[in-house]
Amino acid sequence: MSAGIPESGQIHDLLGIGVGPFNLGLAALTDPLPELDALFLDSSSGFDWHPGMMLESAHLQVPFMADLVTLADPCSRYSFLNFLKQTNRLYRFYIRENFYPLRAEFNAYCRWVADQLPHVRFGEHVTGIRHDSSSGLYEVTARTSAGPRSYRARRLVLGTGTQPYLPPAAAALQGSGATVLHNADYLSRRQELQQKRSITVVGSGQSAAEIYLDLLEGMDAHGYELNWVTRSGRFFPLEYTKLTLEMTSPDYVDYFHALPGATRDRLVAEQKNLYKGIDSDLINTIYDTLYAKSLTGDPRTRLLTHTELCGGTFDAASGRSTLQLHHAEQQRTSALETDAVVLATGYAYREPEFLAGITDRIRRDDAGRFDVDRWYGVGAEPGEIFVQNAELHTHGFVTPDLGMAAYRNSAIIREILGREVYPVETGIAFQDFGVPGPSTPDAGEVPA
């Protein structure tokens, strides 16, 4: 790791790497704390949250209270409501009578917060980290437009976020000349897609549904065929009943984290509909759009459920891709020809390369994953390294939930300072997630 221009002897209490909503929320909550010297670095030129999916009507799937700070500090100057007030939009939001901010609105709010925080720096790409055993400090090197820089800090918070996931079944299409893209690039390439004769959307969740509806509404103007392929048995709505929402609480995280690892892995696989489903209003809008288009004949679109993408080939002469599909219930295979493919296949955590220099400072489980403790630490020494949105396997499906971010940041700040700056509410659930009171495991069970 090449040394950069160091800061003038400054030692930060906390250095956050990556500035998405989670670390930005941590930056906002640490801002009023004079006893905590924090710095946050991000390689992007500025805050921009999922720009490829900023469809005009797209909104968050959580209420406005799940902003960067409110659930930790309702009086914070960095709240979404204060953003509305300062930008002359509070009454419009009130009259709208909808708790769910538009996605573009939330992005503008996050930019507004980032612009007010001098300890958040963009355009700084972290290239390496080393640990100085003599001082106990972490030395971080970053590449900037002005050249390399280096920083020293007592603790790290990793907030690099998740990356677009491309399924192995689509590997043969990538780099072949085929028009295939992840939904993260959808808006920048929508015009290109709409010039094709046929488009296929692959995916099961909210992003797939938003893209399908957007393309469905443009079918008549552009004249393409449209397919939607999902391996799910149906187009699952996001489960949003109030007792289910109690699972997005500190109480449930306590319960989930205490379970044996194998049980947690099984639950993560089973609970996808709790955070990867489709907004029910969006499903209904899709149906109503299909119904309206059917008045003049069946629309040139197909929705294929129970159908998994198994592979694909590209024919340069025709400019078409052939997708190999497998129907799970009928155990039959089929082929689908298409001119373009949009992979709305989600995101996955990818460990950043800059951690190579401190691998001995990070705890791992038997599968090589971060061994994240209850309060989001992964350091060999307690309270040195924390993670944001990299603990799905240890803390459950609430990990990427914006509504739990302020809680997680409150816990991280408490672990660093040794005192509770932002009180964490407990005992909020009406239901018991485990056996009430002391219990004895059944024979053969691994005690939590």
Q: What is the pLDDT of residue 276?
A: 83
**CA distances for 281 relative to 58, 236, 430, angstroms:** 12, 12, 28
Element (H, E) at 41: strand 38-42
**Quick one: pLDDT band at residue 4, thresholds 50, 70, 90?**
low
The phi-psi region of residue 51 (left if phi > 0; otherwise alpha if psi is between -120 and 50; otherwise beta) is: alpha
In angstroms, the CA 275 to CA 267 distance is: 13
Q: Where are the chain's structural domains?
A: 5-163+348-417, 166-238+276-343
Q: What is the pLDDT of residue 5?
A: 60
pLDDT of 437 above 50: yes
Q: What percent of the chain has pLDDT over 70?
A: 96
Stretch 18-38: mean pLDDT: 97
Whole-number mean pLDDT of the chain?
93
Same fold, 5-163+348-417 and 166-238+276-343: yes
Query: CB of 448 within 8 A of CB of 259?
Result: yes
pLDDT of 78 above 70: yes
Stretch 349-372: mean pLDDT: 95
Q: What is the pLDDT of residue 426?
A: 83
Closest residue by Cα to residue 25 from 66, 84, 86, 82: 66
Q: What is the pLDDT of residue 447?
A: 44
Instruction: For domain 5-163+348-417, give its CATH number from 1.25.60.10, 3.50.50.60, 3.40.50.11720, 3.10.580.10.
Output: 3.50.50.60
pLDDT of 93 above 90: yes
Per-residue model confidence as pLDDT tens digits over 203-245: 999 999 999 999 999 999 999 999 999 999 999 888 888 999 9
3-state SS assignment for residue 296: helix
Q: What is the pLDDT of residue 445?
A: 47
Per-residue model confidence as pLDDT tens digits over 48-71: 998 888 898 889 989 999 999 999
pLDDT of 138 above 80: yes
Backbone angles phi, psi at 181, to 5 degrees: -150, 155
pLDDT of 251 above 80: yes
In angstroms, the CA 81 to CA 113 distance is: 12
In angstroms, the CA 195 to CA 182 distance is: 18
What contacts 414, CB < 8 A, 6 or more positions away? Answer: 375, 420, 421, 422, 424
Per-residue model confidence as pLDDT tens digits over 256-270: 999 999 999 999 988
pTM of this prediction? 0.91
Q: What percent of the chain has pLDDT over 90?
A: 85
Query: CB of 306 within 8 A of CB of 236?
Result: no
In angstroms, the CA 391 to CA 337 distance is: 39
**Quick one: pLDDT band at residue 448, thresholds 50, 70, 90?**
very low
pLDDT of 284 above 50: yes
In angstroms, the CA 312 to CA 269 distance is: 26
Which of 11-20, 241-250, 364-373 shows the lowest per-residue confidence on average (mean pLDDT)? 241-250
**Quick one: pLDDT band at residue 444, thresholds 50, 70, 90?**
very low
Instruction: For domain 166-238+276-343, give its CATH number from 1.10.287.3510, 3.30.70.3000, 3.50.50.60, 3.40.30.10.
Output: 3.50.50.60
pLDDT of 429 above 70: yes
Query: DSSP class of residue 371?
Result: -
Per-residue model confidence as pLDDT tens digits over 386-405: 999 999 999 999 999 999 99
**Quick one: pLDDT band at residue 7, thresholds 50, 70, 90?**
low
pLDDT of 374 above 90: yes
Stretch 1-14: mean pLDDT: 71
